[in-house]
Amino acid sequence: MSLVTRCPNCATAFRVLPQQLSARDGQVRCGKCDTVFDGVAALVGPARTPAPEQPEKAPEPLPAFLADPAPPRRGLWWILVSLAASALLAQAALYYRSEIAGSLPVARAPLEQACQVLGCEIRLPRQVKLLSIDSYDVRPDARREGVIVLNAVIRNRAPFAQEYPALQLTLTDEANRDLVSRSILPHEYLEAGRARELMARGIDAGGEATLTVHLDASRTRATGYELVLFYPS
């Protein structure tokens, strides 16, 4: 199919092929006055011979390679991006629900409502990296042979209350070889009669917990010890 373009200098109209327009980015030379011009911008329609005594039809649309590209559907893209971001934020809020509820009390009620639907629970945070043992020592019990006494101070360095951790006490010999290891859970070292209350409240933000535990070590000849904190899975 040939097209018709018009010279802007001498107003001469002549036929051009789409291949001619695409070959030189639309630049053509007028055959009458030798003016070089943009043949695409000067298009007046395709070449045709109207039938006698019939009204001339409207020009055919430009071929696909000459038509302007359709604008991208940015609205739909931004909607999808917003939905994806909202989903990620919801997952993060669910994963860190304990920390959020501890740091922002106003968020606890909405999180509890969400957990009722999702079947989860909001416990006190368990960020063991934000806990430290300020001091501890292990010594023989002066009143009972074969019994040792563990004294320790646990500090919560988080800006929110945390669950009481479990303790792992390992006794070693002179060569620093492990002899025996014992896990001590919170209800074993918290004050008798108040363990449930204290466990529900946790260690306050920036607070500390002092503990004393008596352990039977009559079957070992330990000379050293190690104490670490952990949360049971």
CATH code of the domain in which 191 resides: 2.60.40
Q: Are 198 and 143 in contact (CB under 8 A)?
A: no
| 202 and 220, same domain (yes or no) | yes
Could you tell me the two tokens for 152? Answer: 């320790």
Q: CA torsion, points 140, 143, 146, 149, in degrees to nearest 10?
A: -40
Say what the pTM is. 0.54
**Domain annotation covers residue 68:** no
pLDDT in tens, 132-183: 999 999 999 988 988 999 999 999 999 989 999 999 999 998 888 888 999 9
Q: Range of 221's domain?
A: 128-230
Task: Identify the pLDDT of residue 64.
Answer: 59
Q: Hey, which residues does 170 pair with through a beta bridge?
A: 181, 226
**Domain annotation covers residue 155:** yes
When pLDDT is cut at 50, 70 and 90, the band that residue 65 belongs to is low
For residue 160, the number of C-alpha atoms closer than 13 Å in the C-beta half-sphere is: 18
**Domain annotation covers residue 74:** no
Per the prediction, the chain carries an average pLDDT of: 83
**Domain annotation covers residue 98:** yes
Domain count, the chain: 3
| 174 and 221, same domain (yes or no) | yes
| 165 and 191, same domain (yes or no) | yes
| 224 and 167, same domain (yes or no) | yes
Least confident residue range of 37-46, 48-57, 210-219, 220-229: 48-57
| 111 and 172, same domain (yes or no) | no
| 134 and 223, same domain (yes or no) | yes
| 91 and 179, same domain (yes or no) | no
**Domain annotation covers residue 69:** no
| 101 and 140, same domain (yes or no) | no
